[in-house]
Amino acid sequence: METILYPEKERGHANHGWLNAKHSFSFANWYNPDKINFGALRVLNDDIVAPKMGFGTHPHDNMEIITIPLRGKLEHKDSMGHTSVITTGEIQVMSAGTGILHSEFNASQTEEINLFQIWIFPNKRNVTPRYDQIDIDYAKAENNFLQLISPNADDEGSWIHQDAWIFINKPSKGKEIVYPIKKDGNGVYIMVINGTITVDENKLTNRDAIGVYNTKEVRIFVNEDSELLFLDVPMIF
């Protein structure tokens, strides 16, 4: 088993006033040659957006984009004709494919929004752009791997054009959980949304992360009640 540590304190940070962003991987004006990607996982941004503010219309192509609101409401518009509000308890998925334009704004006039934006390289280029928005029952994540994303349209959650899976787990203090890598050649990037865990003798706390690969499973000891994000992605793509 091989591991790469991604401490919270080493994330990139950009505070634009209206946007306070933490970057797990090189993004925009923050560049770290040692943190470009973890396999097919290219972006994991932890954004706090001020009320009424957001990202004006901008393009994407050939990327699988997943948005997870942790707190608040996000207003979305795109060139495919979708206009919607994504709230805590939902996730949004876009396959940018041949190209899309979209905008994202905090839908609240008074409250900040905190969201994860995740980009995963696809296994097919120039697909027809696609949009999905689904409800997530986070109660099912209590001491359980709740699947948000998979490669299969018939599975739980939504799907993307990549042999990748995303899970949330909320394990209780004192438990040992085992995460089985979903496919040979994949690794898993584990972020502590909140709480404290130990992986391979590495103690991780709020927003720390670890990438694990060249193994079939990962054992995790839960030091205190936690909420964990698992991104299982191909290491070669």
Task: Write out pLDDT tens, residues 53-84.
Answer: 999 999 999 999 999 999 999 999 999 999 99
Task: Assign 210 a pLDDT band (cuts: 50, 70, 90).
Answer: very high
pLDDT tens for 94-148 read 999 999 999 999 999 999 999 999 999 999 999 999 999 999 999 999 999 999 9
Token pair 């972020």: residue: 191
Q: Which fold has domain 2-234?
A: Jelly Rolls (2.60.120)
Section 173-178 average pLDDT: 98
The model carries a pTM of: 0.97
Percentage of the chain with pLDDT > 70?
100
Asked if residue 21 lies in contact with residue 49, where contact means CB atoms within 8 angstroms, the answer is: no
- Enumerate the domain spans of the chain: 2-234
The pLDDT assigned to 110 comes to: 97
